[in-house]
Amino acid sequence: QVQLVESGGGLVQNGGSLRLSCVAVGDILSVNDLEWYRQAPGKQRELVATISSGGRANYTDSVKGRFIISRDNAKHTVYLQMNSLEPEDTAVYYCHADEIVLTHGGTWTRVYGAWGHGIQVTVSS
């Protein structure tokens, strides 16, 4: 019914920048809060940044001042601009949608807790 598709990951040097994108694909009417998570090898998945449907953003302390989350509601897309990257930022990054409202044939369906497949970000020292 709905897919979250991430792009923009890769390998970057210490201090470099990357921009992740995540687009929700489907017969979408609206998307509620969106988040970026990450999971480093041997560690638990952690919340990196959130953005409400109205654009209010919050960040975990370790990325404040370096990462910027934004969204384009018309395109059902969330972005994560990552600046001043550090080796500690190396992880698989996942986007997550708290709630997506789908429409099809005049009916509505709510999908809760949709995850993207994840995308690798590697920062070399």
Locate 121 and state its tokens: 């970000």
Positive or negative, the CA dihedral 18, 32, 104, 94 is positive
HEC letters along 28-50: EEEECCEEEEEECCCCCCEEEEE
**β partners of residue 91:** 121
Mind listing the pLDDT tens digit for each residue in 102-118? 998 889 999 999 999 99
Instruction: Round the average pLDDT of the chain to a whole number and report it.
Output: 96
Whether the per-residue pLDDT at 82 is higher than 90: the answer is yes
Band (pLDDT 50/70/90 cuts) for residue 70 is very high
pLDDT value, residue 69: 98
Mind listing the pLDDT tens digit for each residue in 43-68? 999 999 999 999 999 999 999 999 99
pLDDT value, residue 1: 84
pLDDT value, residue 36: 98
